[in-house]
Amino acid sequence: MIRTEVVKNLASEVGFDLCGVAPCRHLAQNEEWFRRWLDRGMNASLGYLERNLDKRFDPRRLVEGARTAVVCAVGYKNRASEGYPAGCRTKIASYACAADYHATVRAMLARLFEELRGMWPGLRGRAFVDTAPLLEKQLAVEAGLGWIGRQSLLVTPRLGSFVVLGELILADEADRYDEPFEGTRCGRCRNCIESCPTGAIVAPRVVDAGRCIACHTIEREPASRIDLDGWIFGCDRCQSCCPYNRNAPMHAHPAFDPLFDPEAMTPEAWRTLGPGEFEARFGRTPLTRSGLERIRSNIAAEADAPEPGTLL
């Protein structure tokens, strides 16, 4: 049996800002909501979300003998998280200004898992960083880290929503589990819904991926076109307006220091950037997920955008 207090202390030592521990179980209510969302076609071009539904809502199907979910979070807020000047046409989601969080968090989880196995030899489990059908935001709620906001993101009381998550699914029980976070603290605030340039948040905690700027700039391109509102990779609009994010501290972990200033890159600078220079300057960042040509395509789409909020 693993000790929750020890797990949290070790998570802090390897650099995580938050850590919670929850029992592995079938998240039946979330599965019901998600299937209704899919039935409405809200996933748009994100066809992969229709796969592995049997695993997505029960971590015990991902790790044999799974008993415990250790959910860790680390803040990444930087200057770009606070928003861009009016008229900026080369906006980049603030998480993408730093080194790719998948590699960073995976390395942190590996260190944590190694420490845990040093204390409990034979401990089995797997680490996950946003690359498997795991309902990580709800697991974070189960582990007491925060609540799901109206923009469908995890919001934590101290760090807001500018956090990335990583999980260890372990085949052993914990001596104590955290209480799930009850309710929300959004109150009457609807900033995220009202600030979305394309109306992608069609209802509280319901996002239409076909209207989401982040999906349009990064994922497989939907059939429809939308006004990208100056964004060329991702979108932070529903986060930078959140009161919890405005009051959240800047990131503390040096691995999340920005590697470039997005405001320094004009449309012309992106157009004249060569592939070699792109790799040298941005090869460690998430921008490689879309690549230089996709970024240029997004800039070109900005120059020939439809009216804000419309679909073509």
Counting beta carbons within 10 angstroms of the beta carbon of residue 235, is it exposed (0 to 12), middle (13 to 18) or buried (19 or more)? buried
Per-residue pLDDT band for 308 (boundaries 50, 70, 90) equals: very low
Confirm if 77 and 247 have CB atoms less than 8 A apart: no
Q: What is the pLDDT of residue 240?
A: 97
| 3 state SS for 224-267 | CCCCCCCEEECCCHHHHCCHHHHCCCCCCCHHHCCCCCHHHCCH
Which residue of the set 17, 39, 54, 130 is catalytic?
130
Q: What is the pLDDT of residue 305?
A: 54
pLDDT of residue 264 exceeding 60: yes
Tell me which of 125-129, 245-249, 284-288, 302-306 is least confident: 302-306
Q: What is the pLDDT of residue 222?
A: 66
Q: Within a 10 A sphere around the Cβ of 38, how many other Cβ atoms?
A: 14
Q: What is the pLDDT of residue 58?
A: 97
Looking at residue 189, its amino acid is C
Tokens of 11: 């998570």
Closest CA to 154 of 173, 172, 138: 138
Alpha-carbon distance 151 to 239, whole Å? 8
Q: What is the pLDDT of residue 302?
A: 72
Confirm if 29 and 138 have CB atoms less than 8 A apart: no
Q: What is the pLDDT of residue 131?
A: 83
> Positive or negative CA dihedral for 35, 37, 41, 47?
negative
pLDDT of residue 303 exceeding 80: no
Tokens of 17: 């800002």
Closest CA to 6 of 159, 176, 126: 176
Residue found under tokens 């090869």: 283
Per-residue pLDDT band for 116 (boundaries 50, 70, 90) equals: very high
pLDDT of residue 162 exceeding 70: yes
Per-residue pLDDT band for 311 (boundaries 50, 70, 90) equals: very low
To the query of whether residue 178 is one of the catalytic residues in this protein, the response is no
pLDDT of residue 254 exceeding 70: yes
Alpha-carbon distance 179 to 142, whole Å? 7
Average pLDDT, the chain: 95
pTM of this prediction? 0.94
pLDDT of residue 304 exceeding 80: no
Closest CA to 30 of 62, 69, 58, 63: 58
Q: What is the pLDDT of residue 265?
A: 95
* Mean pLDDT in residue range 272-297: 97
Q: How many alpha carbons lie under 13 Å from residue 111 in its C-beta half-sphere?
A: 14
pLDDT digits 0-9 by tens, 61-95 = 999 999 999 999 999 999 999 999 999 999 999 99
Would you list the domain boundaries of the chain? 4-77+98-170, 191-247+259-303
**DSSP for 182-232?**
PS-S-TT--HHHHH-TT--EEETTEE-GGG-HHHHHHSSPPSS----TTEE
